[in-house]
Amino acid sequence: MESSKLKNLVILILVITNLLLGLLMVVQGVTSRQRQAQLLLDAVALLEDRGIAVNTSGIPQGDFPPVMTLEQDSDWEQKMFSALLGEDLTATQRGLVSYYESGLGRAEVREDGSFTVQFSTSADGGAAYPTGDLDKRAHGLDLLRRMGFEAMVTAEDDQTVKAVQLWNGTPVFSCPVTLTYDGDCLAELSGVRLMGVPTADPAQGETLSTATLLLRFRSGIIDSGDACSAILEVTQGYVLSSGPSGASRLTPVLRLETDTNPYLVDALTGAVTRG
């Protein structure tokens, strides 16, 4: 056989092999998703058989976000509050608390990530952040974005907007913020924020399936003496926890809103806590 024909035959065999391998991967992926979907249906059926109704319409089907780690970053912190209070702010440190102050207001920032900002009102009635033509929801989200703080609103009323921080579109349930208004002017911003830029840490381990976490939830509330009769909403997200040497970790969790209390189920261990 001529060498050119032999070469073409080898190429054809490799192409066919790659196509078959690709098809096999697709079939395996479909089979895996079907298996996960069936396990989820079985878990829901078991919960309902035990007296816990489950709203299945919003149960996430995708993978959990990865475990993230972050280090405290003082430069990033100053940049965040400079965006809020202006570049002319003064910074002072007293123990574990940092203070940032300018003509627009004063921020008290604690080492655990919590902070409070009181905004100034001038003698002539002017305010640092009037809402202008925006409603309070849009005004609050715009202000948080200015800080580099992507957020999702969780509740609001005439004078208050409550939100949680997002990281890559995923809510960080332990980083809530509250914007409090006095009339049409922002008076105070308080809450908890990420203290640095998170990076993925695949070494922390694999997450459990949503089906497994739902079953762990039932066992967890029984062990704690709690009770519920319905799971109203299921959301994937993160919680922020402190680690050694100043490092912190974003751990993926499943948040369950029930008819009694909200709960968080650790996606790595299955541990259940009120959330």
Would you list the domain boundaries of the chain? 43-71+200-275, 73-195
Q: In this structure, what token pair is assigned to residue 139?
A: 């005004």
The tally of CA atoms less than 13 A away on the side-chain side of residue 90 is 4
pLDDT at 144: 94
Residue 213: which of 171, 169, 172, 264 has the closest Cα? 264
Residue 27, amino acid: V
Element (H, E) at 154: strand 151-156
Look-up: residue for tokens 């993160």?
A: 238
pLDDT, tens digit (0-9, with 9 covering 90-100), for 99-109: 999 989 999 99
On the question of pLDDT at 12 being above 50, the answer is yes
Give the C-alpha separation, 269 to 206, whole Å: 10
CB 193 within 8 A of CB 115: yes
Q: What is the pLDDT of residue 29?
A: 55
7-21, 191-205, 229-243: the lowest-pLDDT one: 7-21
What predicted TM-score, i.e. pTM, was given to this entire model?
0.81
With vertex at residue 53, the alpha carbon angle to CA 215 and CA 231, rounded to the nearest 5 degrees, is 70
Whether the predicted pLDDT of 174 surpasses 90: yes
Residue 252 has pLDDT above 90, yes or no: yes
Taking all residues of the chain, what is their mean pLDDT, rounded to a whole number?
87
Residue 203's pLDDT is what? 75
Work out the pLDDT band at 123, boundaries 50, 70, 90: very low
Mean pLDDT score, 79-94 = 90
For residue range 26-68, what is the model confidence (pLDDT) as tens digits? 665 555 555 667 888 899 999 999 899 999 888 888 889 999 9
Q: Are 79 and 147 in contact (CB under 8 A)?
A: no
pLDDT by residue (tens digit) across 192-236? 999 888 998 877 778 999 999 999 999 999 888 998 999 999 999
CATH of domain 43-71+200-275: 2.40.128
C-alpha span between 99 and 73 (Å, rounded)? 15
For tokens 């459990």, the residue is 208
Q: Topology of 73-195 in CATH?
A: TATA-Binding Protein (3.30.310)
Q: Which residues have a Cβ under 8 Å from the Cβ of 75 and sit 6 or more positions away?
A: none
> Residue 158: pLDDT above 70?
yes
